[in-house]
C-alpha cells in the first residue's frame, strides 16, 4: 500500500508547482504581493541614520514656545522647523522597532499596513528635513504633509490591535504589551507635534487669523484648562450613554479645589476622564449602588520650582519612556540654546484628581491585568468577537471611540493602559486602589506648565506685529 | 534529634553570666570608637546553615489554644532553637558583610554587640525538659527583650550617620531585614512568654478558650473599628496636649464594614494604625492651626473582602510635597535627614523612661511627643504590615490630603514574611 502511494505523490506536487509557475513568475513581482514588504522610497541606510540620531525630548513648554497665534511668519517657520527637527528620528525609530518584530507578525496585513504608513510618512518628510524651511510656500507644503501624516495614522490603534489579535498565537502577550506600550506612547508624541503645527498654522492663516484670538489657546494647548469643566462635560456624555444602556445615571459630586486651572492638552484630559468615568459609572450601576454618588476631588499643588533637566530626568527614567528619549545627552541638550524656553521651564504646577466610586472594587484575580491591553489575555471566543468588525460587547464600550482618536477601539481593553500612557507622557501618572467589596479610588496626576499668568497676558504674534507697525508709522 | 549542648545546666548559665559581665564592661566604654572584637566565624556558620521554620498567625493561636505542659515545653524548645538561627545568626552574618567602617559606627556596633550577646546566650541553652527550666528560660527571654529596647533608635541613628558610606538602597534593605527579623524574634518570644503566663495563672484550665480572647499575643478577633477608635482617641489626646491653647482636634469618622474581625497581633496593628492616624491628625492640625474654621474630619473606611480587610484613612491635611514623596518609604534617604537624626537622639531616653510602664518598644514609640518627627513611622509601619503578608500604600493629592491604604490578610494562614521585598541574604 505504501509503495503504491509513494509514486503517486511527486507528479501531483510537481504538476501543481508547474501550473503555479506558468502563471506567475517566481519570486512574484514585488507589487503583486498581497502586502508588499515595502513600497516606500526611503533607503535602509537613511532609516538607520535617522534612527540613530538622539530623539530630542518634548515638553509641554516646547509646544507653546513659538508664541500665541495668530503667529507672525517668522514664528510659524520656526514652529515648522521645530516640528521637522523632531519627527524624522521618531518615525525612523518606530520603523526600526516594527522591523525587529517577528516576520510572521509584520507580514500580517494589518500590521504591515501600519508599517507602510510609517515608511510613507517618513518619505513625505524627506524634502523638508534635508534643508530648513525658509519660505511661507514651503511651510504650506509642509503643513500639507503634516495633515497627511495625522490623517494616515488616525486609525493606527484598531488596525494594530486587530493585527496583533490575529497573530496572538505566535507572539508572547508580555512582548505584545511591551511593544504596544512603547508604540502608543511614541505615537502620542509624534501626533502631538504634528497636530500642534497644524493647529498653529490654521489659527495663523486664512479667516481664523482675522478673528479675535482666544487668549487661552495655543494650538492644542489650553493655558487655563479647568478640570472641573472637563469632568462635567465628560460626565454628561458618559451619563447619557448609561441612561441609554441601563436606564439610570449615577450622580457625580466634585469637591476640593473646584476652581483650579492649569495648562494642558484638553484632548488628552478628555480622553482620560472619559475612560475613568466610564469605568466608575459602569461599576457603580452594575453593583446596584447607583444611589451612591461618584466623588471627584480636585487638588492643586503649589508650584514647585524645578529645572528642565530635573523634569526631563524624571521623565526618562522608566523603561517605558526610553523609546521616546534617553538619558544619553540629556545634559548637553539642556545646556544647549535649543532647550532654552525662557521662564516656562522653571516651575511645574501639579493637579491631582481622585475619582472615588462605590462600585464594589476590582476582584483580586483581575487586578494583575488591569494595565495590560486586555485583548492580549482574551480567550478564543473573546478574540473572535473582538476580531470581527462589530464587537458584540457594544454599549458603554462605544464611548471608547471618543477622545483624541476618531476611531473605534471598542472592547479591546485599551482604556486604562492608554489613559496612563497619556498621563505619563508629560510627567503625570495614574494610580489605582481597589477595595474589593466596596469601591475603587483612582488617582490621576497631571503636570502643567509653570508661570502661566505671564503666558496668558503675553500678546499674540498678531498683536506684536500691529505694535511694530504702529511704531513705524 | 536536637543537638544537646555538651554543657551541664549550671555551667550553661555560668557562661551566660560571664557574657553579661563582659558586656557590662564593654557597655561602659560604648561612647568610644572601639570596634567590636573579632570572634571565630565557624560557630556562626553552623547556625546560619540551619533552615528557618516560619510560622503563621493561625499556627500561633491553634498551638496555644489547648495548652498543656507538653505543648508549653515544645513551644519553649521551638523558641530556643529558632531564636539563634535565622533570626539572630543571619542578621549577624549580614552585619559582618557590611563595610568595616559601617559596623564600627558607635550606634551600629552597639546593635552588633547586643545581637552577638543574645546569640551566644541562646545558643548555649540546653533542651528544656521541666516547667522550672522553662521559668528560667522565660526569665532569660524577658531580660533579653528589655535589653533590646534601644535597638531600633540605635539602628536608625547608625544608618542615618552612615548614609554616605554605603548606597542608600543597600542601607534600606539592611534596615528592613533587621526590623523584620526583630519583629519575628519578638513575636515568637513574647508569644511564648504570654503562653507561660497563661499556663501559670491559677485559673488556667487546659481547654479550648472562648472565641473572644487572646491566645498569647494574638487576638483572635481584632475588631478594626474598636482599634481605630482606641488609637484615634489616644492620638487625639497626644496631639492636643502639645498644640498650645485649646486646640481643635479633627474628628475621626469611621464607615464601611464596621463589624469586620480578623486574628492579628494587637500591638502590631495598634502601632500601624496609630502611626497613620498620627500623621493625619498632625497634618490637619498643622494646616488649620491659624484658621478659625473647624478642621475637616479624618475619614476611615473599613472594607472587608473574602481574604483581606482594607483600612483606608483619608485626611485633608494638605498632602505630601513632591520632593518628599520619593523618600517616603526610606529609612535613610531624603532632605530631612539632619533633623531626624537630632530627634532620634531623644528617643533612647524615652525608651528608658517608658519601659517601666509597659515592656513594649512599640508603646514607647507610639507615645512620643508629636513634635518629635523621626521619619520612620511609615517605613516601619510598612515592615510591620508586610510581615503578616499585608501591605501599606499611600496616595497623595498634593495640596489637598493623603489617602493611606492598609491591607490586612484576614485568614491568618499566611506565614510570616521573613524575606519579602528585599531578598536579603539568600536564606
pLDDT in tens, B81-105: 888 876 788 889 889 999 999 999 9
Min distance B49 CA to chain A CA atoms (Å): 36
From chain B, the residues in CB contact with A436 under 8 A are 303, 305-306, 308, 310
Residues of B in contact with A431 (CB under 8 A): 395
On whether both A199 and A256 belong to a single domain, the answer is no
Q: Is residue B419 part of a domain?
A: no
Min distance A448 CA to chain B CA atoms (Å): 14
Instruction: Please indicate, yes or no, whether residues B257 and B179 belong to a single structural domain of this protein.
Output: no
Partner residue facing B303 (CB), from A298, A352, A435: A435
Choosing among B335, B397, B410, which should be mutated to test the A contact, i.e. which has the most A CBs within 10 A? B397
Residue after which a domain boundary falls, among A184, A217, A250: A217
Please state the domain count of chain B. 2
Angle between helices A266-286 and A227-246 (to 10 degrees): 40
Q: Are residues B248 and B162 in the same domain?
A: no
Distance from CA of B322 to the nearest CA of A (A): 8
Give the chain A residue whose CA is nearest to the CA of B393: A433
Q: End-to-end distance of chain A based on CA atoms, in angstroms? A: 106
Q: Which of A301, A438, A441 is facing B399, going by the closest CB pair?
A: A301
Q: Which residues of A touch B393 (CB under 8 A)?
A: 433
d(CA B83, CA B281): 38
Nearest CA in chain A to B256: A438
* Domain finish residue from A217, A248, A270: A217
Q: Which of A301, A347, A432 to mutate to test the interface with B (most CBs of B within 10 A)?
A: A301
Judge if A354 and A418 occupy the same domain.
Answer: yes
If asked whether residues A321 and A363 sit together in one domain, one would say yes
Residue B4 lies in a domain: no
Instruction: Give the end of a domain, one of B180, B212, B244.
Output: B212
Is B156 found in the same domain as B269?
Answer: no
Number of domains in chain A: 2
Residue B393 exposure: Cα atoms within 13 Å on the Cβ side = 15
- Option in B393, B396, B398 nearest A433 (CB): B393
pLDDT of A376 reads 58
In a shared domain, residues A101 and A235: no
| A159 and A107 belong to one structural domain | yes
A119 and A231 in a single domain? The answer is no
Tell me which chain A residues have a C-beta less than 8 angstroms from the C-beta of B323: 304
pLDDT at B30 > cutoff 50: no
Among A257, A361, A364, select the one facing B400 at the smallest CB separation: A257
Residues 6+ apart with CB under 8 A from B329: B172, B378, B379, B382
Q: Would you call A299 and B399 a contact, using CB atoms and an 8 Å cutoff?
A: yes
Do B386 and B289 share a structural domain?
yes
Q: Do A350 and B322 touch (CB under 8 A)?
A: yes
Q: Which residue of B has its CA nearest to A438?
A: B303
Show the low-confidence residues of chain A (pLDDT under 50).
1-22, 34-35, 317, 341-346, 388-410
Domain residues for A133?
A: 44-217
Domain identity same for B223 and B198: no
> What separation in angstroms does the CA of A359 have from each of A250, A434, A440, B382?
11, 10, 7, 28
Helix-helix angle A173-204:A156-166, to 10 degrees: 170
The verdict on B203 and B235 lying in the same domain is no
Q: A84 or B32: which carries more pLDDT confidence?
A: A84
* Cβ separation B398–A301 shorter than 8 A: yes
Are A357 and A308 within one domain?
A: yes
- Residue A25 placed within a domain: no
Residue A257 counted as domain residue: yes
Q: Lowest-confidence range among A42-56, B23-37, B295-309? A: B23-37
Residue B374, domain member (yes or no): yes
**Summary mean pLDDT of chain B:** 77
Test A352 with B256 for CB contact under 8 angstroms: no
- Determine if the peptide bond prior to B258 is cis (ω within 30°): no
Across the interface, whether the CB atoms of A437 and B397 are under 8 A apart is answered no
- Window from A34-43, A313-322, B69-78, B197-206 with minimum mean pLDDT: A313-322
pLDDT at residue B341 is higher than 60: yes
Residue B42 binned pLDDT confidence (cut-offs 50, 70, 90): confident
Across the strands, what pairs with B407?
B310, B391
pLDDT at position B359: 43
- Rg of chain B over CA atoms, in angstroms? 22
Q: What string of DSSP letters covers A110-148?
A: HHHHHHHHHHHHHHHHHHHHHS---SHHHHHHHHHHHHH
For the stretch A171-210, pLDDT in tens is: 888 888 888 888 888 899 899 999 999 999 988 887 777 7
For residue A410, the model assigns a pLDDT of: 47
Identify whether B308 is part of a domain: yes
Same domain, A146 and A190: yes
Q: Is residue B349 over pLDDT 80? A: no
Start-to-end Cα distance in chain B: 22
Residue B37 lies in a domain: yes
Which residue of chain B has the CA closest to A428?
B322
Enumerate chain B positions whose Cβ falls within 8 A of a Cβ in A.
256-257, 301, 303-308, 310, 312, 319, 321-323, 393, 395-401, 403, 405
Please give the grid coordinates belonging to residue B80. 530556643
Question: Which one of B153, B188, B212 terminates a domain?
Answer: B212
> B178 and B222: one domain?
no
User: Do B392 and B302 share a structural domain?
Assistant: yes
Interface of A with B (CB under 8 A): 256-257, 297-302, 304, 350, 352, 354, 361, 364, 431, 433, 435-438, 441, 443
| Cβ partners under 8 Å of residue A247, min gap 6 | none
Element (H, E) at A301: strand A294-305
Please give the residue range of the domain that contains residue B144.
10-212
Query: How far is A432 from chain B, CA to nearest CA, in Å?
Result: 9
3 state SS of A203: helix
CATH of the domain at A232: 3.30.565.10
pLDDT digits (tens, 9 = 90+) for A76-107: 999 999 999 889 988 998 999 999 999 999 99
- Tell me, yes or no, whether A65 lies in a domain: yes
pLDDT at B4: 40
| Inter-chain CB proximity A436 and B308 less than 8 Å | yes
User: What's the Cα-to-Cα distance from B330 to each of A371, B348, B418, rounded to whole Å?
Assistant: 27, 21, 19
Q: Which of B260, B300, B322 to mutate to test binding with chain A, by most A CBs within 10 Å of its CB?
A: B322
* Distance to chain A for B78, nearest Cα, Å: 36
Tell me, what CATH number does B159's domain have?
1.20.140.20
| A467 in any annotated domain | no
Model confidence at B144: pLDDT above 70: yes
Cα–Cα distance for residue pair B400/B6, rounded to 1 Å: 65
* Cβ neighbours of A435 in B, within 8 Å: 301, 303, 305, 310, 312, 405
pLDDT score for B1: 38
Q: Is residue A117 located within the same domain as residue A168?
A: yes
Residues A260 and A369 occupy one common structural domain: yes
Residue A56, domain member (yes or no): yes
User: Residue A189's domain is classified under what CATH number?
Assistant: 1.20.140.20
Residues B226 and B143 in one domain: no
Per-residue CA distances from B159 to B102, B156, B323, B349, B383 (Å): 8, 5, 21, 19, 16
Question: Comparing A369 with B204, which gets the higher pLDDT?
Answer: A369
Please provide the size of chain A in residues: 473
Q: How far apart are CA B166 and CA B96, in angstroms?
A: 14
Of B304, B322, B396, the CB nearest to A437: B304
DSSP string, A353-392: EEEEE-S----HHHHTTTTS-GGGG--HHHHHHHHSSS-S
CB contact under 8 A, B305 and A361: yes
Mean pLDDT confidence for B11-15: 37
Q: Do A284 and A300 sit in the same domain of this protein?
A: yes
Are B146 and B41 in the same domain?
Answer: yes
Q: What pLDDT, on the 0 to 100 scale, is given for residue B345?
A: 65
pLDDT at res. B354: 35
Residues B29 and B114 reside in one and the same domain: yes
Cβ-Cβ contacts under 8 Å, B287 against chain A = none
Q: Based on the domain organization, do A58 and A134 belong to the same domain?
A: yes
Q: How far apart are CA A253 and CA A295, in angstroms?
A: 5
Smallest Cα distance from B105 to chain A, Å: 34
Supply the pLDDT for residue B410: 83
pLDDT of residue A441: 96
The pLDDT of residue A4 is 45
Instruction: Report d(CA A471, CA A205) in Å as an integer.
Output: 24
Under 8 Å between Cβ of A238 and A403: no
* Residues B179 and B304 grouped into a single domain: no
Residue B26 has pLDDT above 90, yes or no: no
In chain A, what residues touch B403 (CB-CB under 8 Å)?
354, 433, 441, 443
Cβ of B399 within 8 Å of Cβ of A443? The answer is no
Query: What pLDDT score does A369 carry?
Result: 82
Asked if the structure places residue A12 within a domain, the reply is no
**Distance (Å, rounded) from C-alpha A401 to C-alpha A185?**
18
Amino acid at each position: 500500500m505504501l509503495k503504491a502511494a509513494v509514486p503517486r505523490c511527486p507528479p501531483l506536487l510537481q504538476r501543481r508547482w508547474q501550473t503555479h509557475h506558468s502563471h506567475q513568475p517566481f519570486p512574484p513581482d514585488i507589487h503583486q504581493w498581497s502586502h508588499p514588504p515595502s513600497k516606500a522610497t526611503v533607503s535602509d541606510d537613511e532609516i538607520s541614520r535617522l534612527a540613530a540620531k538622539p530623539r530630542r525630548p518634548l515638553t509641554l513648554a516646547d509646544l507653546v514656545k513659538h508664541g500665541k497665534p495668530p503667529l507672525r511668519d517668522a514664528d510659524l517657520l520656526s514652529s515648522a522647523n521645530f516640528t521637522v527637527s523632531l519627527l524624522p528620528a521618531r518615525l525612523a525609530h518606530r520603523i526600526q522597532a516594527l522591523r525587529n518584530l517577528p516576520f510572521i507578525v509584520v507580514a500580517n496585513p494589518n500590521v504591515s499596513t501600519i508599517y507602510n504608513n510609517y515608511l510613507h510618512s517618513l518619505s513625505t518628510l524627506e524634502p523638508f528635513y534635508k534643508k530648513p524651511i525658509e519660505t511661507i510656500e514651503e511651510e504650506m507644503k509642509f503643513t500639507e504633509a503634516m495633515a497627511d501624516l495625522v490623517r494616515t495614522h488616525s486609525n493606527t490603534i484598531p488596525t494594530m490591535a486587530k493585527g496583533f489579535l490575529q497573530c496572538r498565537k505566535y507572539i508572547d502577550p508580555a512582548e505584545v504589551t511591551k511593544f504596544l506600550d512603547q508604540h502608543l506612547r511614541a505615537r502620542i508624541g509624534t501626533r502631538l507635534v504634528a497636530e500642534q503645527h497644524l493647529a498653529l498654522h490654521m489659527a495663523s492663516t486664512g479667516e481664523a487669523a482675522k478673528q479675535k484670538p482666544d487668549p487661552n489657546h495655543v494650538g492644542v494647548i489650553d493655558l487655563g484648562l479647568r478640570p472641573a469643566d472637563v469632568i462635567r462635560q465628560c460626565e454628561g456624555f458618559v451619563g447619557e450613554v448609561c441612561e441609554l444602556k441601563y436606564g439610570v445615571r449615577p450622580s457625580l459630586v466634585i469637591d476640593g479645589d473646584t476652581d483650579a486651572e492649569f495648562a494642558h492638552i484638553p484632548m488628552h484630559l478628555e480622553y482620560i476622564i472619559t475612560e475613568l468615568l466610564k469605568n466608575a459609572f459602569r461599576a457603580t450601576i452594575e453593583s446596584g449602588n447607583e444611589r451612591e454618588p461618584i466623588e471627584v476631588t480636585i487638588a492643586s499643588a503649589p508650584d514647585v520650582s524645578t529645572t528642565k533637566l530635573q523634569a526631563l530626568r524624571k521623565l526618562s527614567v522608566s523603561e517605558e519612556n526610553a523609546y521616546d528619549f534617553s538619558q544619553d545627552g540629556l545634559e548637553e541638550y539642556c545646556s544647549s540654546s535649543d532647550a532654552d524656553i525662557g521662564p516656562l521651564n522653571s516651575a511645574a504646577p501639579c493637579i491631582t484628581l481622585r475619582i472615588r466610586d462605590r462600585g464594589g472594587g476590582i476582584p483580586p484575580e483581575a487586578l494583575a491585568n488591569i494595565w495590560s491591553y486586555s485583548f492580549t489575555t482574551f480567550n478564543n471566543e473573546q478574540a473572535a468577537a473582538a476580531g470581527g468588525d462589530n464587537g458584540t460587547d457594544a454599549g458603554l464600550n462605544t464611548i471608547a471611540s471618543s477622545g483624541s482618536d476618531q476611531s473605534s477601539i471598542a472592547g479591546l481593553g485599551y482604556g486604562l493602559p492608554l489613559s496612563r500612557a497619556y498621563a505619563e507622557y508629560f510627567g503625570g501618572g495614574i494610580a489605582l486602589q481597589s477595595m474589593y467589596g466596596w469601591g475603587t479610588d483612582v488617582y490621576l496626576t497631571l503636570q502643567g506648565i509653570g508661570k502661566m499668568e505671564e503666558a496668558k497676558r503675553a500678546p499674540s504674534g498678531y498683536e506684536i506685529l500691529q505694535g511694530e507697525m504702529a511704531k513705524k508709522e | 534529634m536536637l543537638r544537646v549542648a555538651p554543657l551541664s545546666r549550671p555551667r550553661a548559665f555560668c557562661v551566660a553570666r560571664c557574657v553579661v559581665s563582659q558586656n557590662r564592661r564593654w557597655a561602659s566604654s560604648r561612647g568610644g570608637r572601639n570596634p567590636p572584637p573579632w570572634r571565630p566565624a565557624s560557630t556562626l556558620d553552623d547556625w546560619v546553615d540551619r533552615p528557618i521554620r516560619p510560622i503563621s498567625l493561625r499556627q500561633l493561636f491553634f498551638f496555644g489554644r489547648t495548652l498543656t505542659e507538653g505543648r508549653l515545653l515544645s513551644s519553649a524548645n521551638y523558641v530556643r532553637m529558632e531564636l539563634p538561627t535565622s533570626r539572630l545568626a543571619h542578621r549577624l552574618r549580614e552585619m559582618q558583610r557590611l563595610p568595616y567602617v559601617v559596623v564600627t559606627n558607635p550606634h551600629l556596633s552597639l546593635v552588633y554587640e547586643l545581637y552577638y550577646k543574645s546569640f551566644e546566650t541562646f545558643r548555649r541553652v540546653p533542651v528544656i525538659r521541666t516547667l522550672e527550666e522553662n521559668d528560667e528560660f522565660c526569665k532569660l527571654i524577658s531580660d533579653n527583650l528589655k535589653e533590646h529596647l534601644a535597638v531600633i533608635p540605635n539602628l536608625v541613628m547608625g544608618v542615618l550617620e552612615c548614609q554616605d558610606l554605603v548606597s542608600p538602597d543597600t542601607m534600606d534593605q539592611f534596615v528592613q531585614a533587621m526590623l523584620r527579623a526583630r519583629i519575628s524574634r519578638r513575636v515568637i518570644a513574647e508569644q511564648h512568654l504570654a503562653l507561660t503566663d497563661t499556663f501559670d495563672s491559677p485559673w488556667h484550665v487546659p481547654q479550648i478558650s472562648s472565641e473572644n480572647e487572646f491566645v498569647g499575643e494574638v487576638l483572635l478577633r481584632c475588631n478594626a473599628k474598636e482599634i481605630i477608635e482606641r488609637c484615634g482617641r489616644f492620638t487625639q489626646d497626644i496631639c492636643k496636649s502639645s498644640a498650645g491653647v485649646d486646640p481643635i482636634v479633627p474628628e475621626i469618622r469611621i464607615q464601611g464594614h464596621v463589624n469586620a474581625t480578623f486574628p492579628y497581633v494587637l500591638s502590631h496593628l495598634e502601632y500601624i494604625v496609630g502611626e497613620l492616624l498620627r500623621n493625619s491628625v498632625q497634618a490637619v492640625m498643622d494646616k488649620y492651626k491659624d484658621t478659625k474654621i473647624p478642621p475637616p474630619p479624618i475619614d476611615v473606611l473599613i472594607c472587608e473582602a473574602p481574604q483581606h480587610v482594607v483600612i483606608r484613612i483619608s485626611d485633608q491635611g494638605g498632602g505630601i510635597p513632591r520632593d518628599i514623596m520619593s523618600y517616603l518609604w526610606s529609612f535613610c534617604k531624603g532632605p530631612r535627614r539632619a533633623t531626624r537624626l537630632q530627634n532620634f537622639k531623644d528617643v533612647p531616653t524615652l525608651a528608658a523612661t517608658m519601659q517601666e510602664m509597659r515592656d513594649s518598644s512599640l508603646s514607647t514609640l507610639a507615645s512620643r511627643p508629636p513634635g518629635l518627627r523621626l521619619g520612620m513611622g511609615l517605613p516601619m509601619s510598612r515592615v510591620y504590615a508586610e510581615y503578616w503578608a499585608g501591605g501599606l500604600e499611600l496616595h497623595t493629592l498634593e495640596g489637598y490630603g493623603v489617602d493611606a491604604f492598609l491591607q490586612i490578610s484576614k485568614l491568618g494562614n499566611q506565614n510570616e514574611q521573613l524575606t519579602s521585598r528585599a531578598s536579603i541574604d539568600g536564606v
